[in-house]
Structure 1
Amino acid sequence: MDLRPAPGPHHMIRIPRLVLAGLSGGSGKTIVSLGLAGAWARKGLAVAPFKKGPDYIDAAWLGLAANRPACNLDPFLMEPDAVRALFVERAKGLDLAVVEGNRGLFDGGDAKGSVATSQLARTLDAPLVLVLDATKMTRTAAAVVLGCNSFEPGFKLAGVICNRTAGDRHRSILRQTIEEYTGVPVLGMLPKLRQNPISERHMGLMSNWEQEGLEDILSGIARTVADHCDLDRLLDIARQAPDMAPATEALWPPTLPGPKPRIGYVLDAALWFYYQENLEALRRAGAELTPVSLLATDPWPELHGLYLGGGFPETQARALADNIAVREHVRALALSGAPVYAECGGFMVLCEELHAGGSIYPMAGVFPLATTLCDRPQGLGYAEAVVSAPNPFHPVGTTLRGHEFHYSRCIPRSSYTGHGDPPVMALRMERGAGMLHGMDGAVMGNTFAAYTHIHALGAPHWAVNFVRAAQAAREGAALSGLSRQGSALDPLGG
Structure 2
Amino acid sequence: MNTPPIPRLILAGLSGGSGKTIVSLGLTRALRNCGLRVKAFKKGPDYIDAAWLGLAAGDDAVNLDPIIIPKDLLPGLFQSSATGADIAIIEGNRGLFDGKDVSGSCSTAELARQLDTPVILVLDATKMTRTAAAVVQGCAHFEPGLRLGGVILNRTAGNRHRAILRETIETYTDVPVLGMLPKHSPNPIPERHMGLVSNREHGGCEAILERIATVIADHVDVDAVVSLAQMAAPLHTDGTPLWGDQVKTTRKPVIGVVRDAAFWFYYPENFEALRRAGAEIVSVSLLDDTPWPDIDGLYLGGGFPETHARALAENVAVRHRIRDLSAAGLPIYAECGGFMYLCRELVTHEGTFPMAGVFDLATTLCERPQGLGYNQATVITDNPFHPVGTILNGHEFHYSRCVLDPGNLTFCLHMSRGNGMLGQHDGLVVNNTFAAYTHIHALGAPHWAPAFVKAAFAYRRIKSE
- TM-score over 0.5 (shorter chain): yes
| Distance in 1, Cα, partners of 2:288 & 2:301 | 17
Q: Which amino acid aligns with 1:69?
A: D
| Distance in 1, Cα, partners of 2:221 & 2:111 | 24
Q: Contact conserved, 1:256 with 1:468, CA < 8 A, in 2?
A: no
Distance 1:248 1:156, change over 3 A: closer
Q: Which amino acid aligns with 2:441?
A: H
Does structure 1 residue 382 correspond to structure 2 residue 374? Answer: yes
| Distance in 2, Cα, partners of 1:184 & 1:245 | 26
Does structure 1 residue 449 correspond to structure 2 residue 435? Answer: yes
Does structure 1 residue 473 correspond to structure 2 residue 459? Answer: yes
Q: Which amino acid aligns with 2:408?
A: P
| Distance in 1, Cα, partners of 2:210 & 2:238 | 36
| Distance in 1, Cα, partners of 2:245 & 2:435 | 25
Does structure 1 residue 164 correspond to structure 2 residue 134? Answer: no
Q: Contact conserved, 2:132 with 2:165, CA < 8 A, in 1?
A: yes
Q: What do the CA deviations read for 1:333-358 (whole angstroms, capped 9, x no partner)?
A: 11111110000000000000100015
Does structure 1 residue 114 correspond to structure 2 residue 105? Answer: yes
Match of residue 487 from structure 1? none
Aligned-partner SS, 1:349: helix
Superposed counterparts of 1:407-422, under 5 Å? 407-413=399-405, 422=408
Match of residue 308 from structure 1? 300
Aligned-partner SS, 1:212: coil
Query: Unaligned stretches of 5+ in structure 2?
Result: none
Match of residue 178 from structure 1? 169
| Distance in 1, Cα, partners of 2:246 & 2:146 | 41
Does structure 1 residue 346 correspond to structure 2 residue 341? Answer: no
Match of residue 10 from structure 2? 19
Match of 2:39 among 34, 42, 48: 48
1:169 Cα deviation after fit: 0.5
Q: Which amino acid aligns with 1:293?
A: S
Q: Which amino acid aligns with 1:238?
A: A
Superposed CA RMSD in Å reads 1.1
| Distance in 2, Cα, partners of 1:349 & 1:138 | 51
| Distance in 2, Cα, partners of 1:12 & 1:90 | 13
| Distance in 1, Cα, partners of 2:238 & 2:301 | 29
> Equivalent pairs: percent with the same residue?
62
Superposed counterparts of 1:39-118, under 5 Å? 39-118=30-109
Q: Contact conserved, 2:72 with 2:240, CA < 8 A, in 1?
A: no
Distance 1:327 1:465, change over 3 A: same
- Under a length normalisation based on structure 1, what TM-score does the superposition of the two structures give? 0.92
Match of residue 213 from structure 1? 204
| Distance in 2, Cα, partners of 1:15 & 1:67 | 18
| Distance in 2, Cα, partners of 1:335 & 1:225 | 54
- Under a length normalisation based on structure 2, what TM-score does the superposition of the two structures give? 0.98
Does structure 1 residue 424 correspond to structure 2 residue 410? Answer: yes
Match of residue 255 from structure 2? 263
1:12 Cα deviation after fit: 2.1
Q: What do the CA deviations read for 1:90-117 (whole angstroms, capped 9, x no partner)?
A: 1012101000000000010000101100
Which has the higher Rg, Structure 1 or Structure 2?
1
Aligned-partner SS, 1:290: strand
Match of residue 187 from structure 1? 178
| Distance in 2, Cα, partners of 1:381 & 1:313 | 20
Aligned-partner SS, 2:148: coil
Q: Which amino acid aligns with 1:141?
A: A
Q: What do the CA deviations read for 1:199-255 (whole angstroms, capped 9, x no partner)?
A: 111111001111111110010011111110000001000000001245524312333
| Distance in 1, Cα, partners of 2:211 & 2:76 | 34
- Total equivalences in the alignment: 464
Q: Contact conserved, 1:321 with 1:361, CA < 8 A, in 2?
A: yes
